[in-house]
Amino acid sequence: MSDATIAGTDKAGSQDAATNKAIREVASKPSTGHVIPPEVVAFLYAHVDHMRAEFFGGQLPEIVLSFDVTDRRTLGHFVIGRNGLGVKWAVNLNLIHLARPVYQVVSTLLHEALHSWEHSWGTPARPPYHSAAFRARCEAMGIPTDERGHDLGVRRGSPFEEYCRRHGVAFPEEKSAAIRAEDLHAAPPPLLPAPPARPSGSRLLKYRCPCGVNVRVAGRAFRATCNRCGGLFRLQE
* Domain-embedded: residue 100: yes
pLDDT, average across residues 178-184:
41
* Domain-embedded: residue 22: yes
Reported as a single tens digit per residue, the pLDDT across 41-80 is 999 999 999 999 999 999 999 999 999 888 888 999 998 8
Kindly state whether residues 85 and 165 are assigned to the same domain: yes
Contacts of 61 (CB under 8 A, 6+ apart): 16, 17, 20, 88, 89, 116, 117, 120
Count other Cβ atoms within 10 Å, centred on residue 23.
16
Kindly state whether residues 65 and 134 are assigned to the same domain: yes
What DSSP character marks residue 193? S
Kindly state whether residues 124 and 222 are assigned to the same domain: no
Kindly state whether residues 122 and 230 are assigned to the same domain: no
* Domain-embedded: residue 190: no
| Residue 88: per-residue pLDDT | 86
Q: Cα angle vertex 25, ends 20, 31, to 5°?
A: 130
How many Å apart are CA 161 and CA 26, to the nearest integer? 31
Kindly state whether residues 51 and 116 are assigned to the same domain: yes
How many Å apart are CA 16 and CA 12, to the nearest integer? 6
Kindly state whether residues 99 and 207 are assigned to the same domain: no
Model confidence, pTM: 0.72
* Domain-embedded: residue 141: yes
Structural domain span for residue 219: 203-237
* Domain-embedded: residue 6: no
pLDDT band at 10 (very low <50, low <70, confident <90, very high): low
With residue 79 as reference, give the H or E element that holds it. strand 76-82
Reported as a single tens digit per residue, the pLDDT across 96-117 is 899 999 999 999 999 999 999 9
Kindly state whether residues 150 and 42 are assigned to the same domain: yes
Kindly state whether residues 117 and 210 are assigned to the same domain: no
* Domain-embedded: residue 178: no
Contacts of 45 (CB under 8 A, 6+ apart): 24, 28, 65
Kindly state whether residues 73 and 31 are assigned to the same domain: yes
Kindly state whether residues 79 and 29 are assigned to the same domain: yes
Provide the number of structural domains found in the chain: 2
* Domain-embedded: residue 189: no
Kindly state whether residues 54 and 96 are assigned to the same domain: yes
